[in-house]
Amino acid sequence: MPQPAPETLDALGLPRWLLRARAGSGAGEVAQATGGVAAVTDSEPAVAASRAGAVPPASTLAAASLAVSAPTNTGRSADVVETLEALRAEVAGCQACALAGGRTQTVFGNGNPHARWMFIGEAPGRDEDARGEPFVGKAGRLLGAMLNALGLTRDEVYVANVVKCRPPHNRDPEAAERAACRGYLDAQIRAVKPELLIALGRVAAASLLETDAALGTLRGRIHALPGSELPVVVTYHPAYLLRQPVHKARVWEDLLRARQLVVPQVV
Ligand code: URA
């Protein structure tokens, strides 16, 4: 088990991302809510050796992904990377829905091609549209901090969105747009072969599970991706947590439950 990095834990051994709230809002409520989390916190929490809260720049992530995929000792590395790169090129030219007209570039996804955990977000925002990488803005930094507290970095998981182009004014992607992009997401899942999907927020949960149920009712249990046995854990979107930090404790619970089901570290 990696040694805790002191900067990721507070005096009680709780991850700092959980307690860090927007100035002037929610910090007390979050601190209170963590009482419930202690019950599911491991006695030996794994904590990242890397910087708390920092998401590596896109170039670092790309390099890390390549470093993981470079060895050709199993054929599988090369195959997965090749498949994902072919898919990335296809997505880059996609004109399947009106979102194509408003994008700076497509945002395919990134991370470890052999990841055990695959996070699914909703759609690129302004930062992602500019960078061409998922979750690189404020919400992405929070996602990075959550991963760090689990002893993970962004290059050990795979991150993708339901739709690959930014919707205007960051509105929710419409059903037709989600449907137009669905084949790409399914192909990413087939290529990476994760052992667990984590749906971040209502749009991702609704798309993956084909349901209109409220997010609160989907949390707290393990679902299966329709038509398969792939487990799906549903939790709040990091952007929502930035507005409602009181729910951070619930997300931490969800992540710890996910870790009980599937060890996230890539071997
Ligand atoms: N929100 C998402 O759902 N996805 C991103 O990539 C960024 C923000």
Per cent of the chain over pLDDT 90 is 70
CA of 161 to the centre of ligand 1 (A): 7
Q: For ligand 1, what atom is nearest to the CA of residue 237?
A: 3
Mean pLDDT of 7-34: 54
Ligand 1 proximity of 129 Cβ (cutoff 6 Å): no
Is residue 10's pLDDT more than 70? no
CA dihedral in degrees (145, 150, 154, 158; nearest 10)? -130
User: Which two tokens mark 211?
Assistant: 């349901």
State the distance from the centre of ligand 1 to the C-alpha of 169, rounded, in angstroms: 13
pLDDT at 65: 34
| Pocket perturbation via mutation, ligand 1, pick of 55, 119, 126, 128 by most ligand atoms within 8 A of CB | 128
Mean pLDDT of 121-133: 98
What is the distance in A from the centroid of ligand 1 to the CA of 44? 31
Per-residue pLDDT band for 18 (boundaries 50, 70, 90) equals confident
DSSP string covering the chain, please?
-PPPPGGGB-TTS-BHHHH---TTSSHHHHHHHHHHHHTTS-SS----SSPTTPPPPHHHHHHHHHHHH---SSSHHHHHHHHHHHHHHHHHT--SSGGGGG-SS----EE-TT-SEEEEES---HHHHHHTSSS-SHHHHHHHHHHHHTT--GGGSEEEESSSSPPGGGPPPPHHHHHHHHHHHHHHHHHH--SEEEEESHHHHHHHHT----HHHHTTS-EE-TTS--EEEEE--HHHHHH-GGGHHHHHHHHHHHHHHS--S--
- Regarding predicted confidence, which is higher, 61 or 159? 159
pLDDT tens for residues 189-234?
A: 999 999 999 999 999 999 999 999 999 999 999 999 999 999 999 9
Report the length, in residues, of the chain.
267
